[in-house]
Amino acid sequence: MLRFSCLCLFILALQSCSSQVKEDVDVLVLLPRNNSYMFSIARVTPAIEYARQLLARGPLVGLNFSVRYVTSECGVDALYALVDLARHERPDLILGPVCEYAAASVIRVATHWQIPVISAGALALGFSDKGSEYAMLTRTAPSYLKMAGTFATMSEQFGWKSVHLIYLDDREERNCYFTIEGVHALLESDHDISISMMNSRDPLAHVDEIIKSIYEHEVIIMCTHTDVVREIMLMAHRQKLTTSSRLFFNIELFNSSSYGNGSWRRGDKYDNEAKAAYASLNTVTLLRSTKPEFENFSQEMKKKIGVDVCEGCSDINMFMEGFHDALLLYALALNETIHSGYSKKNGTEITRRMWNRTFEGIAGQVSIDANGDRYGDFSVISMTNHETGTHETVMNYFGTNGSFQVLPGFNSERFTLRGAPRQPLPDPDGQSSGGLGLSAVTGIIVGGLLGTALLMAFYFFRKNYRITIERRARREQCDGKHRQLREDSIRSNFSAA
Ligand SMILES: *[C@@H]1O[C@H](CO)[C@@H](O)[C@H](O)[C@H]1NC(C)=O
Ligand SMILES: *[C@@H]1O[C@H](CO)[C@@H](O)[C@H](O)[C@H]1NC(C)=O
Ligand SMILES: *[C@@H]1O[C@H](CO)[C@@H](O)[C@H](O)[C@H]1NC(C)=O
Ligand SMILES: *[C@@H]1O[C@H](CO)[C@@H](O)[C@H](O)[C@H]1NC(C)=O
Ligand SMILES: *[C@@H]1O[C@H](CO)[C@@H](O)[C@H](O)[C@H]1NC(C)=O
Ligand SMILES: *[C@@H]1O[C@H](CO)[C@@H](O)[C@H](O)[C@H]1NC(C)=O
Ligand SMILES: *[C@@H]1O[C@H](CO)[C@@H](O)[C@H](O)[C@H]1NC(C)=O
Ligand SMILES: *[C@@H]1O[C@H](CO)[C@@H](O)[C@H](O)[C@H]1NC(C)=O
Ligand SMILES: *[C@@H]1O[C@H](CO)[C@@H](O)[C@H](O)[C@H]1NC(C)=O
């Protein structure tokens, strides 16, 4: 006890001589109670508390965070919670919401009040527009648009021309819809692209049409339940579409337990067929990096979130990391803001200082771009042993420099589309680079001078070809507004409501 008070005195003395910032910070956390969400309050709370304790031990000990945790489901009640709580005093910082529709209204009001909002969610394309309504938003998890960079870069390297997107629309949170919207936004201008929407009540109702679209395209990108992925792969396999002239991708960003080894296995009579079909399936997921400090974090989370809270909830996910890092980022920006003579109420200034910066997060470096969105790193996972059906990471994509790291399991043959009409790729040196080999892939760095030149070459090359943006008109339910990716961003959806 004595030692503890001595420490306090020491810290106090240190504070006064290094002009340490002292400030009370009122934080409001808006997250759902239901543990079926990976970002439920029970899972994220220990991560935020961990960050708070970390800060209390560090040089920013003068920042006194008081955190209010308020549950709000994915609808409009997040907004009501904010308005009710802010009746007397507005919070200094809002963490969350994650769900797009809850986030949209909260961020709009927060922007109006100039309160910084940091979320490890709100990943939809619409939030990238920070010009007005979402000006106070900083995202500490990579958005769907950042994820789509993985596909755009692969497309550049492997020369994809036609892409079919398949997504499941639950008409509520619409995660897959927003995921695919990001991919669509990056690929639409220079690919022949088409989309299949699946209704969550009966996903495979129009499977014939889906198979037909698969037949017509080189690259198939899916976002749907793992069971539906399996059905589609089985169907494609039976139609002999899982050949070397076609690449299948499945996007499964957050839930690491549902991809990789054994994802084809159900214990039914189709397992062997599914294993063969999955040889053509690749999964894009978040790259998980860890460092020694992460182990401690991970163990603390396991301690705090027992099985009595919810089963499997102590598995660390991107949302827990993101909200942990959110508090660190805010503390860094607030420290600078106060040192520069502004108050903690100047949300604009604090937000500006959170953007375009790199700092040390719990799992590694976190880079926030100049638009306040985190750069993301992603992995491509493929089956590397066709006998056992095991999967491995074959490529890593680094968002900050747009480059791929090729791992030993990578098979360039497999990523080189055959059978589809191939055009020689333009090469500034005049050399042919039709099928990119391992060394070529390793060497390409998008962002460098050469990368820029290559990109421009690709761009002009593609422009010479007919560009078709095909929109398959759905037979069922013709309330067009919800069907079209471009028209239905968060923005238009909400302004129409
Ligand atoms: C939590 O969400 C799941 C899935 O959306 C739902 O089935 C369940 O009823 C919800 N639980 C509560 C307590 O609302
Ligand atoms: C921290 O803030 C809380 C609530 O604003 C306050 O009750 C508490 O006294 C503060 N602690 C310190 C050390 O300033
Ligand atoms: C993660 O995936 C597994 C296997 O597909 C599933 O059982 C589980 O419910 C998923 N968890 C979440 C939070 O989506
Ligand atoms: C994590 O680190 C803290 C402080 O460094 C320490 O008190 C705690 O025991 C560590 N936890 C584990 C599980 O190692
Ligand atoms: C707080 O801000 C000051 C002034 O910008 C800076 O010198 C100091 O290193 C900052 N502290 C931390 C922990 O970042
Ligand atoms: C907030 O900071 C900006 C500089 O980023 C400054 O121009 C503005 O006047 C400040 N607003 C308030 C209310 O202090
Ligand atoms: C981002 O920061 C770098 C230096 O860290 C600076 O050169 C660059 O101009 C900044 N970009 C923007 C858009 O503020
Ligand atoms: C799958 O299992 C193999 C062998 O057991 C292992 O090397 C590989 O890392 C596993 N892959 C994943 C994605 O867990
Ligand atoms: C890109 O960034 C990653 C991680 O930040 C790094 O490991 C890799 O070497 C970089 N690649 C290039 C080509 O600069």
* CA proximity to 95, closest of 444, 329, 275: 329
How remote is the CA of residue 161 from the centroid of ligand 1, in Å?
A: 41
Per-residue pLDDT at 326: 98
Beta-bridge mates of residue 165: 195, 221
CA-nearest residue, atom 11 of ligand 6 = 346
- From residue 17, alpha-carbon distances to 14, 179, 314 in Å are 5, 50, 41
- Judged by DSSP in three states, 406 sits in strand
Q: Say if residues 204 and 244 touch (Cβ distance below 8 Å).
A: no
Instruction: Identify residue 27 by its one-letter amino acid code.
Output: V
Does the beta carbon of 397 lie inside 6 Å of ligand 9? no
Residue 437, pLDDT score: 30
Reduced to 3 states (helix: H, G, I; strand: E, B; else coil), residue 28 is strand
The gap from C-alpha 477 to its chain's centroid, in whole angstroms, comes to 30
Terminal alpha carbon distance of the chain: 58
Question: What's the pLDDT score for residue 345?
Answer: 96
Max Cα distance, the chain (Å): 78
Q: Which residue from 58, 97, 79, 223 is spatially nearest to 148, judged by alpha carbons?
A: 223
Per DSSP, the residues of 134-169 read TTTEEESS--HHHHHHHHHHHHHHHT--EEEEEEEE
Q: Say how far apart CA 32 and CA 389 lie, in whole Å.
A: 37
Contacts of 413 (CB under 8 A, 6+ apart): 244
Helices (H) and strands (E) in the chain, counts: 16, 15
| One-letter identity of residue 198 | M
Q: Report how far residue 333's alpha carbon sits from residue 234's, in angstroms, rounded to the nearest whole number.
A: 51
Question: How remote is the CA of residue 463 from the centroid of ligand 1, in Å?
Answer: 48
- Take atom 5 of ligand 4 and give the residue whose Cα is closest: 296
Cβ 340 under 6 angstroms from ligand 3? no
Ligand 7, closest atom to CA 356?
Answer: 1
Beta strands 281-286 and 357-360 are unpaired
The residue ranges of every structural domain in the chain are 21-143+290-368, 145-288+377-476
pLDDT in tens, the chain (497 residues): 445 554 444 444 444 445 688 999 999 999 999 999 999 999 999 999 999 999 999 999 999 999 999 998 888 999 999 999 999 899 999 999 999 999 999 999 999 999 999 999 999 999 999 998 999 999 999 999 999 999 999 999 999 999 999 999 988 889 999 999 999 999 999 999 999 999 989 999 989 999 999 999 999 999 999 999 999 999 999 999 998 789 999 999 988 776 777 889 999 999 999 999 999 999 999 998 889 989 999 999 999 998 888 888 888 999 999 999 999 999 999 999 999 999 999 999 999 999 999 999 999 999 999 999 999 999 999 999 999 999 999 999 999 999 999 999 998 888 888 755 444 333 333 333 333 332 333 333 323 333 333 333 333 333 322 222 233 333 333 333 333 333 344 543 332 22
pLDDT of amino acid 322? 97
- Assigned CATH class of 145-288+377-476: alpha beta
21-143+290-368 is classed CATH 3.10.20.30: no
The reply to whether domains 21-143+290-368 and 145-288+377-476 share a CATH topology is yes
**Best mutation site among 36, 170, 171, 309 for ligand 1 pocket (most ligand atoms within 8 Å of CB):** 36
DSSP 385: E
What pLDDT sits at residue 435? 31
The number of beta carbons lying within 10 Å of the beta carbon of residue 270 is 16
Beta bridge partners of 66: 26
| Mutational pocket test of ligand 3: of 34, 39, 257, 318, the residue with most ligand atoms within 8 Å of the beta carbon | 257
| Secondary structure class of 392 (helix, strand, coil) | strand
